[in-house]
Amino acid sequence: MRDRTAVVGIGTTEFAKQLESSERRLALEAIAAALDDAGIAPGEVDGMSCYSMESTEEIDVARNLGFGDVTYFGKVPYGGGAGCGVVGQAAMAVAAGQCSVAVAWRSRKRGARTSRPWAGVAQRVGGDQQRWTRPYGLLRPVDEIAVLTRRYMHTYGATRDHLANVALAARRHANANPAATMGHKVMTREDYLAARWISEPLCLFDNCLETDGACAVVITSAERARDLPQPPALIHSWAQSLPAQHQTMTNFFCDDPLRGPAWACADKLWSLSEVGPADVDVAQLYDAFSPLVLLSLEGYGFCERGEGGPFTDDGGIELGGRLPVNTSGGGMSEAYLHGFNLVVEAVRQVRGSSTNQVPDAEFSLVTSGEGVPTGAILFRRDG
Amino acid sequence: MHEGMLLPELDEESAPFFAYAAAGELRVQRCASCGTRRVPPRPMCHVCTSTDVEWELLSGRGRVWSFAIPHPPLLPAYAEVAPYNVVVVEAEEDPTIRFVGNLVLSADGPLDEVDPSSIRIGEAVRVVFSSPVDDGQGAVVLPRWVRDA
């Protein structure tokens, strides 16, 4: 299905720590904006794709927006790992003829402390991910990633300065993006190093934001895309991976826990592409936690294994660097919507409309969560 | 060990592990057909699809593979003792067999008993077992780890 489908519309709500609107209203607002951007009437939508963690329901979204008869609908699991699969599966449905215009979205309210999953854990914990870890105080996603990060630093010599490079690049990009919730706040390396610990070796600024907001995209055929108002973001290739013997988040029980789902996803992605990592102009790498960016740089082949830290030195992942990463500010400084704002920014880069535009960007990569079953999309500018 | 700690929900696959722990033994599930070890325990062998299992007794010795030091915000019972350590220990018999736990000075000691700055990846540890913890749903014994001098 290489280059046969495209994202033709993008829509976002306001992003904030706390918004009045419900997740339902935010979803409707973002999808309506994406369809308006695409120049496609809601009645033409016949495909729907969302995260399994999405609280808004297909029937509700379709009825409110006035969709036609929907002939494809599907969901992708694993939270932050889902985003690229949500878009990719919708595109696959378009390419296969199961629908002609699909919308994909994520609406999420997480600003309120009570909305966080670890706020209300029962006394007994079950399931392979939690039973063997939670009783000992490995309670939050950040604790799970802290364990992997310390092992990574020990194995490869990565430092807190490398993690700081990720946080600082995101913040500098956000400072130029009026939609970024942290856009007005400057962060220095001293600020990073002085921040309180959350789970050593990770501090406050190694964590993504908690945000209320929604994003949506519209997908249709490349042929149709060429008659629409926006420059098409062709889906050159996409992939998902749930690697052999993987356990989500607490992946400590395998031969090589530092080799995460990104590696298998990258193998599939590049096998379906006409180009390789060296041809990518700009990347949005899932950043719930700063070390995931280092792991993704390695997994997707931008550097050798263990070289993710040094790759970020000397502005390596900032605008003008080796590979500009998370140019909207990403999950750490724009908004954290399970990585779906990264998809929107990847499309903007191909359109030429980012607030941190990489000149003449042709290939724009976006990835979903590392540490969980994941996905990736390589967008291509048309012509 | 303290009031408000989360306890594991026991099911068909996990119950034997904690029953052996209550008897003072660290055991790992192994396929009775082909011998492949698996952690966490689960119903089927990924090598031969057998559902027959046996439980192999381990020496209880291992090394710290990695660790985290959580700070608040945390569940209240854990926030009270934060910062504390959570270690991942690799078993002496097979470094890919790993257990999550706490490094303590005594079998029933609090989670923050060891100075976090003294913990090192690679240091030798051995298993000890807590006293039974009962939340009204049945007592559970948890494996814990002390330095193996």
Cis peptide bond upstream of A201, omega within 30:
yes
Q: How much is the mean pLDDT over chain B?
A: 96
- Confidence class for position B97, pLDDT limits 50, 70, 90: very high
Task: Using CB atoms, pick whichever of A118, A137, A154 lies closest to residue B102.
Answer: A137
Q: What percent of chain B has pLDDT over 70?
A: 99
Whether A106 contacts A54, CB under 8 Å:
yes
- Note if A152 is an active site residue: no
The pLDDT score that the predictor gives to residue A377 is 98
Q: Look at strands A124-125 and B7-8 and give their pairing.
A: parallel
Please report the pLDDT score of residue B149 as a whole number: 78
Residue A214's H or E segment, with its range, is strand A212-221
A135/B66 CB distance under 8 A: no
Residue A191 phi, psi dihedral angles, 5° rounding: -60, -45
Q: Which residues, 6 or more positions from B27, have their beta carbon under 8 angstroms from its beta carbon? A: B16, B17, B20, B55, B56, B57, B58
Q: For residue A171, what is the enclosing H or E element?
A: helix A160-174
pLDDT (tens place) for every residue of chain A, 383 residues total? 999 999 999 999 999 999 999 999 999 999 999 999 999 999 999 999 999 999 999 999 999 999 999 999 999 999 999 999 999 999 999 999 999 999 999 999 987 766 665 555 557 899 888 999 999 999 999 999 999 999 999 999 999 999 999 999 999 999 999 999 999 999 999 999 999 999 999 999 999 999 999 999 999 999 999 999 999 999 999 999 999 999 988 889 888 999 999 999 999 999 999 999 999 999 999 999 999 999 999 999 999 999 999 999 999 999 999 999 999 999 999 999 999 999 999 999 999 999 999 999 999 999 999 999 999 999 999 98
Report the phi/psi class of residue B124: left, alpha or beta, with left for phi > 0 and alpha for psi in -120 to 50.
Answer: beta
Whether residue B136 is predicted with pLDDT greater than 90 in this model: the reply is: no
Rounded to a whole number of angstroms, the distance between the first and last alpha carbons of chain A is: 17
Structural domains in chain A, CATH included, are: 5-112+209-381 (3.40.47.10)
State CA B5 to chain mean position distance: 14
**Which one-letter amino acid corresponds to residue A379?**
F
Element (H, E) at A239: strand A233-241
Give me the pLDDT at residue A114, please.
64
Measured between CA atoms, how close is A371 to chain B, in angstroms?
Answer: 16
Residue A150: what are its φ and ψ, rounded to 5°? -65, -40
Separation CA A352–CA A333 (nearest Å): 21
Bridge partners (DSSP) of residue A237 are A378
Query: B79 near B121, Cβ under 8 Å?
Result: no
Contact of B111 with B81, CB cutoff 8 Å? yes
A334-A338-A340-A343 Cα dihedral, nearest 10 degrees:
80
Please say if A336 is a catalytic residue: yes
Interface test with A, best of B86, B96, B120, B125 (most A CBs within 10 A): B86
Of the candidates A123, A125, A198, which has its C-beta nearest B71's C-beta?
A: A198
Q: Which residues of A touch B42 (CB under 8 A)?
A: 128
Other CB atoms within 10 A of residue B54 CB: 13
Cβ distance A123 to B7 less than 8 Å, yes or no, reads yes
Phi, psi of A117 (to 5 degrees): -60, -35
**Out of B40, B68, B100, closest to residue A199 by CB:** B68
Whole-angstrom distance, CA of residue B149 vs CA of residue B136: 37
Q: How far apart are CA B81 and CA A136, in angstroms?
A: 12
| Gap between the Cα atoms of A241 and A261, Å rounded | 6
Closest CA of chain A from B27, distance in Å = 14
Q: Report the pLDDT value the prediction gives residue B135, as an integer from 0 to 100.
A: 85
Residue B125 host element (H or E)? strand B124-129
Mean pLDDT is lowest, of A118-132, A174-188, B7-21, B104-118, for: A118-132
ipTM: 0.97
Chain B contact present for A245, CB below 8 A: yes
Residues 114-133, chain A, touching B (beta carbon < 8 A): 118, 121, 123-126, 128, 131-133
Amino acid identity, residue A358?
Answer: V
Q: What is the pLDDT of residue A123?
A: 76
Structure-token pair, residue B33: 């057909």
What is the predicted pLDDT for the residue at A111?
A: 74
Predicted TM-score (pTM) of the model is 0.97
Question: Edge-to-edge strands of the sheet including B27-31?
Answer: B37-38, B27-31, B53-57
Measured between beta carbons, the chain A residues lying within 8 angstroms of B70 are 137-140, 143, 146, 198-200
The SS3 of residue A182 is coil
Torsion angle in degrees (nearest 10) through CA of A134, A138, A143, A145: -70
CB-CB: which of A131, A143, A252 is closest to B8?
A: A131
Domains in chain B: boundaries: 15-147
Task: Enter the tokens of residue A350.
Answer: 């191909």
Contact between chains at A136 and B102 (C-beta distance less than 8 A) = yes
**Counting runs of H as helices and runs of E as strands, what totals does chain A give?**
11, 12
A313-to-A85, A259, A306, A310 alpha-carbon distances in Å: 31, 22, 14, 5
Contacts of B65 in chain A (CB under 8 A): 151, 252
Choose the closest CB to B100 out of A113, A126, A252: A252
- Partner-chain contact A154 B135, CB within 8 Å: no
| Cα(A333)–Cα(A315) distance, integer angstroms | 17
Residues of chain A found within 8 Å of residue B73, distances taken between Cβ atoms: 113
Q: Is residue A51 within 8 Å of residue A88, measured between CB atoms?
A: no
Distance CA(A312)–CA(A92), nearest Å, equals 34
- Contact assessment for residue A216 and residue B3, using Cβ atoms and an 8 Å cutoff: no
**Number of A:B CB contacts under 8 A?**
120
Catalytic residue among A51, A72, A152, A336: A336
User: From the candidates A51, A152, A192, A286, which is the catalytic residue?
Assistant: A286
In whole angstroms, give the CA distance from residue A40 to residue A7. Answer: 12
**pLDDT confidence of residue A100:** 98
Contact A125 B100 (CB under 8 A): no
